[in-house]
Amino acid sequence: MPYYFGADLAGWEEYLEEAESEGIDLPPLTSFQYVEPWQTKTSVVSFPATPGPEPAIPPNPEYPAKFARPAKQSFLSRLFSKAPVPAPAPTQPTAEDWQNWRMKFFEVEMARSEHALWKVSKAADRFRAAGVRRVSGGYDGGGDESFTHFRSVEMNDGRRLDYNGLERKGLDYEALIDDAAAAIMGRFDAGEFTLRGALTVDFEACTITDEKDAAIVFEDIETDAG
């Protein structure tokens, strides 16, 4: 997901203490471990050359909190100022209630990733028509935040461009990277962890590839990897 460092790994608490006392943003690069993207469970995902029907996204499931309805007071009771019958005590959600909620939540997250993959497929023809072969970007997240960013583009004529000299031609490279990350990762913003990733959208192969080479993932980090 891809290079990950979190509360379930050794050194996390020490990193938090050091980050708070010394203002460090990123842990040592040797602390990170590569994990397959957690939504797709694979580092290479294919998308159709032409998109099919737009997939639907179901609404978010409600938390399984159960509360007893307040007792209703009849017109005559209100007229003669009679007190309503006390409401029964609220009941607590069961383990089964939470399990059902988690299943519905997972279904919604899967639907969102499928929709993001559809958006990549839908955008592909516009990028091909502009002579774009591949687009690369990065993403990072954890601690209730997530970010994506465009890195570079490879044209059909072999040119490699970053923001300098980029031929946009109405193409939204940032949105493409955002959708590609959502397609393979789902959400990657909530939890006690930090992660860094890089990906490439290939319009010839119709694939999104999550980068495993740490040198590429952390190419914008100038600190010592040790």
HSE, side-chain direction, 13 A CA sphere, residue 93: 13
Inside any domain, residue 40: yes
Query: In angstroms, how far is CA 71 from the centroid of its own chain?
Result: 43
* Token pair belonging to 206: 């119709």
At 142-156, the pLDDT tens digits run 888 899 999 999 999
Residues 199 and 210 sit within 8 Å (Cβ to Cβ): yes
CA distance 37 to 174: 20
pLDDT the model gives residue 2: 86
Each residue's pLDDT tens digit, 64-106: 765 444 555 555 555 555 555 565 566 677 888 777 867 887 7
Nearest to 196 by CA among 143, 147, 134, 162: 147
Residue range(s) defining the domain that contains residue 12: 3-52+122-217
- Look at residue 76 and tell me if it is in a domain: no
**How is residue 92 annotated by DSSP?**
P
Say which residue, 222 or 41, is predicted with more confidence.
41
> Residue type for 162, please?
D
In degrees, to the nearest 5, what angle opens at C-alpha 111 toward C-alphas 106 and 115?
Answer: 150
Q: Is the pLDDT of residue 122 over 90?
A: yes
| 151 touches 136 (CB < 8 A) | yes
**Amino acid (1-letter code) at residue 135:** V
Q: Please spell the DSSP secondary structure of 22-89, one letter per residue.
A: H---S--GGG-EE---TTTSSSEEE--SS--SPPP-PPPPPP----PPPPP--HHHHHTTPPPPPPPP
Structure tokens at 45: 């995902």
Pairing of strands 145-155, 132-142: antiparallel
Residue at 67 is within a domain: no
Residue, of 158 and 165, whose pLDDT is higher: 158
Q: Give the model's pLDDT for residue 226.
A: 36
Average pLDDT score, the chain: 85
Tell me the per-residue pLDDT of 188-201, one tens digit each, with 9 for 90 and over: 877 899 999 999 99
**147-172: average pLDDT:** 91
**61 part of a folded domain:** no
**116 part of a folded domain:** no
Token representation of residue 120: 């990549």
Q: Picking from 14-18, 108-112, 164-168, 179-183, which range would have the lowest pLDDT averaged per residue?
A: 164-168
Is 29 part of any domain?
A: yes
**Tens of pLDDT, residues 199-224:** 999 999 999 999 999 999 998 775 44
How many Å apart are CA 103 and CA 172, to the nearest integer? Answer: 34
The answer to whether the pTM exceeds 0.95 is: no
The candidate with the shortest Cα–Cα distance to 217, out of 29, 15, 10, is 29
Q: How many domains is the chain built from?
A: 1
Cβ pair 53, 93 in contact under 8 A: no
**What mean pLDDT comes out for the span 7-22?**
89
Q: CA nearest 130: which of 169, 180, 163?
A: 169
Query: Is 98 within a domain?
Result: no
